[in-house]
Chain A
Amino acid sequence: MSINEIQDEIIEEFDLFDDWMDRYEYIIDLGKKLPLIDASLKTEERLIKGCQSLVWLNAKQEEDKIIFTADSDAIITKGIIALLVRVLSNQNAKDIAETELYFIDKIGLKEHLSPNRSNGLVSMVKQMKLYGAALK
């Protein structure tokens, strides 16, 4: 599936939820399920420092695609990471670099990606796109 197809799919999934509680329960669930990044990859170079929560991001190139794995010490951050990984991992490097991530806003999680939320997510998205740009 293309990046935008996945984004639309996520938006549809979230449309089923009536209120914020259900949305967050779902995100928390995703956070719990996200395959943890290999402990050996949780290194200083892969650490994105947010002042509230920490994020680790690993990128691996497979042909023209990039595989992302990631982790965070906060579960809600991790749940949102799971969504970002679902959208951007295993995609073409150029597409990753050029994509516009509209789903976050549409599913009502915009505040988590605000630059002053300082949870590391903004820097993580920037980093993912930089990988895309560097490897395309």
Chain B
Amino acid sequence: MTINTLNKNNTIIDFEKIRADFPLLQRDMNGKPIVFLDSGASSQKPQYVIDAMNDYYTNQHANVHRGVYRLSQEATDAFEKSRRLAQHFINAPSEKEVLFVSGTTDGINLVASSYGRKFLKEGDEVLISAMEHHSNIVPWQMACELAGAHLKVIPINDEGELLMEEFDQLLNERTKIVAVNHISNSLGTINPVKEIIEKAHAIGVPVLVDGAQAAPHMKIDVQALDADFYTFSGHKVFGPTGIGILYGKEKWLNAMPPYKGGGDMIETCTFEKTTYNELPHKFEAGTPDIAGVIGLGAAIEYVQQIGHEAIGQHEQELLEYATTELKKIEGIRLIGTAKNKASVISFLLDGSHPYDVGTILDKLGIAVRTGHHCTQPLMKRLGVPGTIRASFAFYNNKEDIDKLVEGVKRAKRMLS
């Protein structure tokens, strides 16, 4: 792998050179060199990932788990190698517990639907938080509706932190599952998921962690967390779209009915009765996104080569720098000021609509996200129509932030 991040001694990571790994970052937007600050929505892809997928289609493609011929075996090996990479990436005990899904949304839907059908009964409760992405709200609403169960919500304070005393109150014998995000996509809050899991387990309740925003920024260890389910999307960890991971403890996955029926997930099929394949295949019906899986494997290799420690350190520096610099602008209001934050900054400019600010930043070549970030209930709770959100990845640098700050100042001048 050629990574432009290692110095001559192959040790210190050079984040200035890392951009050269990402072809898209070399392009312009609206005639200006792109300043990409929307990795929270989807990250860019290193050449290494693009090459891996290209190579797969060029030299390796055949359906997996099917052919006895050499090519199919090679494709299957490459496919299953990615599963092991993902297993190590999140420190899952067994590869049987690592399922390929199409993304975080799919992972949550799988659990909500399948766990819900088996374990949710009338009068039961599902506990989520006030800062969930719609993807971690709606599937649970659907499951609750089907079962006659109730959705309960852990409230937050104005800084955007979970009220843990309220959580303690809400967690009870009717609670059948807790589903919370590891890091909030709108606010950047890092939630105390370990504590949540401990408390839930104390009364026998499993926990699903939506790790969509955590996987790109921190080392995930599902065993240390003791998470029952953990899910994330490939496209936010520098891999392709359309692929993601759902980790589930074997005891739950075995107890749950299959989510989708089809090829690959069966052991034997007759018109009278079908028996299901074992894990993980039981939950992987149909021809999977093989190229996506291989791309995700490459992305994981790439991220691990850099290392989460270096990534975290670099991003925290960016976060601190951006927070300090943005705060200097009069009329800036940061939305989400939790003590524990990842590299996401949401803000508002007094008297200006996020849409207007985003439009002007776009003209300056700066890509940020504006709007409700698929967290409408959270925006309502905070009493804002939406925010402007800048989210950083390890390929961002201080110059990007300087340009953002300049852009915001310019927007302020134009709009006031």
A24 and B363 within 8 A (CB): yes
Residues of chain B lying within 8 A (CB to CB) of residue A119: 355
A52-B415 CB under 8 A given contacts A74-B355, A76-B356: no
Residues of chain A lying within 8 A (CB to CB) of residue B359: 24, 76, 112
Q: Is A53 an interface residue (CB 8 A)?
A: yes
A75 and B371 within 8 A (CB): no
Q: Is A77 an interface residue (CB 8 A)?
A: yes
A28–B352 CA distance with the chains assembled, in angstroms: 11
Q: Is B386 an interface residue (CB 8 A)?
A: yes
A24 and B414 within 8 A (CB): yes
Residues of chain B lying within 8 A (CB to CB) of residue A112: 359
B360 and A52 within 8 A (CB): no
A52-B370 CB under 8 A given contacts A24-B363, A74-B356, A75-B353: yes
A25-B414 CB under 8 A given contacts A20-B363, A52-B386: yes
A75–B385 CA distance with the chains assembled, in angstroms: 14
Chain B residues touching A, range: 10 to 19
B414 and A52 within 8 A (CB): no
Q: Is B354 an interface residue (CB 8 A)?
A: yes
With both chains docked as a complex, state the minimum distance between the C-beta of B354 and any C-beta of chain A, in angstroms.
Answer: 7
Residue of chain A at shortest CB distance from B372 = A51
Q: Is A73 an interface residue (CB 8 A)?
A: yes
A51–B379 CA distance with the chains assembled, in angstroms: 13
A68–B195 CA distance with the chains assembled, in angstroms: 56
Q: Which residues of B contact A (CB under 8 A)?
A: 30, 352-356, 359-360, 363, 370-372, 385-386, 414-415
- In residues 6-52 of chain A, which contact B (Cβ within 8 Å)? 20-21, 24-25, 28, 51-52
With both chains docked as a complex, state the minimum distance between the C-beta of A122 and any C-beta of chain B, in angstroms.
Answer: 14
- In residues 69-112 of chain A, which contact B (Cβ within 8 Å)? 73-77, 112
Residues of chain A lying within 8 A (CB to CB) of residue B352: 75
Residue of chain B at shortest CB distance from A51 = B371
A52 and B371 within 8 A (CB): yes
Residues of chain B lying within 8 A (CB to CB) of residue A76: 355-356, 359
A112–B358 CA distance with the chains assembled, in angstroms: 12
Residue of chain A at shortest CB distance from B371 = A52
A5–B371 CA distance with the chains assembled, in angstroms: 36
A77 and B363 within 8 A (CB): no
The 4 A-B residue pairs whose C-beta atoms are closest, nearest first, are A74-B353, A74-B355, A53-B355, A52-B355
Residue of chain B at shortest CB distance from A120 = B355
Residues of chain A lying within 8 A (CB to CB) of residue B353: 53, 73-75, 77
Q: A21-B363, A77-B355 are known contacts; what are 5 more A-B pairs with Cβ within 8 Å?
A: A24-B360, A53-B353, A53-B385, A76-B355, A77-B356
A28 and B414 within 8 A (CB): yes
With both chains docked as a complex, state the minimum distance between the C-beta of A47 and any C-beta of chain B, in angstroms.
Answer: 13
A24–B415 CA distance with the chains assembled, in angstroms: 10
Residues of chain B lying within 8 A (CB to CB) of residue A52: 354-355, 370-371, 386
A77–B352 CA distance with the chains assembled, in angstroms: 12
Residues of chain A lying within 8 A (CB to CB) of residue B355: 52-53, 74, 76-77, 119
A selection of 26 A-B contacts at a CB cut-off of 8 Å is A20-B30, A20-B363, A21-B363, A24-B359, A28-B356, A28-B414, A28-B415, A51-B371, A51-B372, A52-B370, A52-B386, A53-B355, A53-B385, A73-B385, A74-B355, A75-B352, A75-B356, A75-B415, A76-B355, A76-B356, A76-B359, A77-B355, A77-B356, A112-B359, A118-B371, A119-B355
